[in-house]
Amino acid sequence: MAARLLRPIRKKPAPPRTGKASHPAAGQAAQDRFLRQMIDEHRKVAVFLASGVKLEGEIVSYDQYVILMKGALTDSVYKHAISTIQPLDAGSAKPPRKSETRAPTIVRRGKPRLVKVGN
């Protein structure tokens, strides 16, 4: 029985990557700047999770996958679970000017009542 020669399998070269997927560091840089600023300024933030939970505290540290927060408790939050991060600034909201203040309007919703007038 004669030995058969096997041909080597040639892999097709992968197509060149284009677009945003080839540069994940571009989006990462903005995220790093924001998180670093929050840490350096010791600013309190509100972190909204995809599940609807709101966490408040100070960002202590972060890496590629996790943000470490210190609030009432120390929380380790996976970035993929985060929906939004907002800085909490007590002094940033300006009080309304006197000309802008109005009395609250009460709107009652319900079944309309008929009122008889006259005979």
State whether residue 8 is helix, strand or coil: coil
CA–CA gap between residue 8 and residue 56 (Å, rounded): 59
Where residue 24 falls among pLDDT bands split at 50, 70, 90? Answer: low
What is the value of pTM for the model shown?
A: 0.54
The encoded tokens of residue 56 equal 């408040």
- Tens-place pLDDT, residues 109-119: 677 666 677 66
* 34-89 CATH fold: SH3 type barrels. (2.30.30)
Residues facing residue 49 across a β-bridge: 82
CA–CA gap between residue 23 and residue 12 (Å, rounded): 23
- Contact indicator for 67, 77 with CB cutoff of 8 Å: yes
Amino acid identity of residue 84, one-letter, is T
Amino acid identity of residue 49, one-letter, is L
- All structural domains of the chain with their residue ranges: 34-89
